[in-house]
A and B are shown apart, each in its own frame.
Chain A
Amino acid sequence: MGARRFWSWLWITLGALYFLVPLYATLHFSLQAKRGTLSLLAYQNVLADPQFYRTFAFSLQMAAATIVTGIVLIVPTAYWVHLRLPKLRPAVELITLMPFVIPAVVLVFGLIRAYSRPPLLLVSSPALLVGGYTVLSLPYMYRAVDTGLRAIDVRTLTEAAQSLGASWPTILWRVILPNLRVAVLSGSFLTLAIVVGEFTLAALLAWPAFGPYMALLGQNRAYEPAALAIMSFGLTWLAMGVILWIGRGRQGGPSELTGTH
């Protein structure tokens, strides 16, 4: 038993070190903008840069648009598949997993090629970026909503609403969606965490988003990028914390946090 404990602690410690050392190094580095002393100068520089706010606000807007698009697209579809078309479930699941088959860099390549000629000239429209982000968020949004639907009695709720004379939009908006609050919120925050720092789509579609801004700063500055990394990490942490907090006491939490790149 003693030996087993020893090995367990050893591996956990190594894992913790792999996780924490780069964070500590980044934090340490970000505080050294003033020679010979620790200071918050790098953070002040970042926060004084109007580009920081402009790009961050842009990415937040894109994230909001992506979340709304994702909810409007996924909630009715997943609901309908649960209620009426269970045969379609494998096809819908397969589509939501497509971002794992088509990586972001290939997706954006295809989007540019498909939509850069009239009459489908969308390449300079934010709709294309939001569409691409919605594709990237499909696996997380769908899995969250699907898990949420499994936990409620969709059929009974629907029949009860119907017998009271509710229309389909009313059922979705006032009966199903409120019952999926936790699931939709988890999916939304995960989408937020993914979209705000996203680089590939934003850079290759040439949008002034937060991801490309960070990359540009990384080429020109030394300490500010480290400060940005810490702030970005804080944001990811916040999003995950909110997801765990709103989903507390539920089964199947960890798998909803899974993401790929």
Chain B
Amino acid sequence: MPSRRVLGDWLGVAPFFLFAVAFIFWPAMTLFVGAFRAPQGGFTFANIVALFQPFILDAYWLTIRVSLVTAVGGGIFGFLVAYAAILGGLPRGVRTVLTTFSGVASNFAGIPLAFAFIATLGRVGLVTVLLRDLLGLNIYDRGFNLYSFWGLSLTYMYFQFPLMVLIISPALDGLRREWREAANNLGASNMQYWRYVALPILLPSLLGTMILLFGNAFGAYATAYGLTGGSLNLIPILIGQQVRGDVLHNPGLGYALALGMVVVMAVSIAASAWLQSRTSRWIRRGA
């Protein structure tokens, strides 16, 4: 009787796990197996070794730079904005508006976001033209290009910093007023409160979210494609080209690229989850 009940219990969740196998794990496995398969069949590390050619290393390097800059930049900016809204002594409505706007902005990505930034910072974009006409500053003559590293980074920031606002807000809520009062009563200055109390509590959460932002930018395909039409040598763009037609002339190398991306994402999400759990322990203990 108990075994029948256990079987029944498992049947209840079977469709979900079957779906996960069919649409997540089986497709992922075929890529991973392909990454280690030689053209004639049999096991090989050649595809993984082939990742270390200059052309692909360049793509990894550019993707890492864009992800790093937008994760750190978007992270710090998002933190400051969230801090200002929650603990900056502003009217309560500011926070509600910020949360709503952040929810919209963090989901406003892909092709329409690329269009928005072309209209803003493209060659005839509003801000480009304003800077030229009002300040006599032609940013394109000064080396700026929307379709290159900094342009892409500025565009990614549009969904990166609101994501930081949304994720860090609960942690900021968890900073208890008593901690600040206790620190002040013990004679701590504002700087000391931050250096010894608030920052150590928030740091894992901040770092964890930044790593999440890193992964978020690392895997972004649609925005990059919409902006550059695939001309920028980024890892997601390379994978996309490989899917459309074997541009690398080596299917195995394409699978190795995909595997490399999943490894980067898995490491960053695991590190992020670990760091987040360290903060939530503090916040829960405090609450």
Chain A residues close to B by CB (< 8 Å): 1, 4-5, 7-12, 14-16, 18-19, 21-26, 28-30, 73-74, 76-77, 80-81, 84-85, 88, 92, 95, 97-98, 100-115, 131-132, 134-135, 190, 193-194, 197-200, 203-204, 211, 214-215, 218-219, 225-226, 228-229, 232-233, 236-237, 240-241, 243-244, 253-255, 257-261
B85 contact set on A, CB distance < 8 A: 8, 12
Q: Which of B53-61, B180-188, B261-269 contacts A (4 or more CB under 8 A)?
A: B261-269
User: Known contacts A106-B219, A112-B243, A261-B222; is A225 also within 8 Å of B115 by CB?
Assistant: yes
| Contacting residue for B9 out of A84, A229, A253, CB 8 A | A84
Q: Which B residue's beta carbon lies closest to that of A27? A: B119
Q: Which A residue's beta carbon lies closest to that of B273? A: A97
- Contacting pair A113 B27 (CB below 8 A): yes
Interface of A is mostly: helix
Q: How far is the CA of A193 from the CA of B108 in the complex (A)?
A: 9
B116 contact set on A, CB distance < 8 A: 22-23, 25-26, 226, 229, 233
Q: How far is the CA of A134 from the CA of B170 in the complex (A)?
A: 28
Q: How far is the CA of A12 from the CA of B95 in the complex (A)?
A: 10
- Contacting pair A101 B212 (CB below 8 A): no
- Contacting pair B23 A7 (CB below 8 A): no
- Contacting pair A95 B229 (CB below 8 A): no
Q: How far is the CA of A40 from the CA of B237 in the complex (A)?
A: 34
User: Known contacts A11-B84, A28-B126, A110-B31; is A18 also within 8 Å of B161 by CB?
Assistant: yes
Q: Which of B14-22, B132-140, B197-205 contacts A (4 or more CB under 8 A)?
A: B14-22
Chain B residues close to A by CB (< 8 Å): 9-10, 12-13, 15-17, 19-20, 22-24, 26-28, 30-31, 34, 77, 80-81, 83-85, 88-90, 94, 98-120, 125-127, 157-159, 161-163, 165-167, 169-170, 212, 215-216, 218-223, 225-226, 229, 236, 239-240, 242-244, 254-255, 258, 261-262, 265-266, 269
- Contacting pair A261 B22 (CB below 8 A): no
11 further A-B contacts with Cβ under 8 Å, apart from A22-B117, A24-B126, A26-B116, are A12-B84, A21-B126, A22-B116, A23-B116, A85-B9, A100-B215, A101-B269, A102-B265, A200-B222, A259-B106, A259-B107
- Contacting pair B262 A102 (CB below 8 A): yes
B216 contact set on A, CB distance < 8 A: 260-261
- Contacting pair B265 A100 (CB below 8 A): yes
- Contacting pair A101 B166 (CB below 8 A): no
Q: How far is the CA of A102 from the CA of B84 in the complex (A)?
A: 34
Interface of B is mostly: helix
| Contacting residue for A254 out of B12, B99, B107, B212, CB 8 A | B99
B98 contact set on A, CB distance < 8 A: 12, 15
- Contacting pair B219 A105 (CB below 8 A): yes
B266 contact set on A, CB distance < 8 A: 101
Q: Which B residue's beta carbon lies closest to that of A111? A: B27
- Contacting pair B15 A73 (CB below 8 A): yes
* Centre residue among A15, A98, A134, A194 by max chain B CB count within 10 A: A15
- Contacting pair A26 B222 (CB below 8 A): no
B111 contact set on A, CB distance < 8 A: 197, 199, 211, 214-215, 218, 229, 232
Q: How far is the CA of A103 from the CA of B260 in the complex (A)?
A: 12
Q: Which B residue's beta carbon lies closest to that of A10? A: B84
- Contacting pair A109 B81 (CB below 8 A): no
Q: How far is the CA of A98 from the CA of B115 in the complex (A)?
A: 29
| Contacting residue for A7 out of B84, B119, B261, CB 8 A | B84
User: Known contacts A106-B258, A225-B115; is A131 also within 8 Å of B107 by CB?
Assistant: no
User: Known contacts A101-B266, A110-B30, A211-B111; is A8 also within 8 Å of B219 by CB?
Assistant: no
B108 contact set on A, CB distance < 8 A: 232-233, 236
- Contacting pair B221 A105 (CB below 8 A): yes
- Contacting pair A100 B269 (CB below 8 A): yes
B112 contact set on A, CB distance < 8 A: 197, 214, 228-229, 232-233
Q: Kindly provide the distance from the CB of B274 to the nearest chain A CB, expressed in whole angstroms.
A: 14
B157 contact set on A, CB distance < 8 A: 18
- Contacting pair A9 B24 (CB below 8 A): no
- Contacting pair A194 B107 (CB below 8 A): yes
- Contacting pair A261 B258 (CB below 8 A): no
Q: How far is the CA of A92 from the CA of B80 in the complex (A)?
A: 34
A132 contact set on B, CB distance < 8 A: 23
Q: Kindly provide the distance from the CB of A4 to the nearest chain B CB, expressed in whole angstroms.
A: 6
Q: Kindly provide the distance from the CB of B18 to the nearest chain A CB, expressed in whole angstroms.
A: 10
Q: How far is the CA of A243 from the CA of B100 in the complex (A)?
A: 10
Q: How far is the CA of A193 from the CA of B161 in the complex (A)?
A: 20
- Contacting pair A255 B170 (CB below 8 A): yes
- Contacting pair B31 A101 (CB below 8 A): no
- Contacting pair B24 A135 (CB below 8 A): yes
A-B contact pairs, 5 of them (CB 8 A): A88-B13, A103-B220, A214-B226, A232-B111, A255-B167
User: Known contacts A11-B80, A97-B269; is A25 also within 8 Å of B107 by CB?
Assistant: no
| Contacting residue for A92 out of B13, B109, B113, CB 8 A | B13
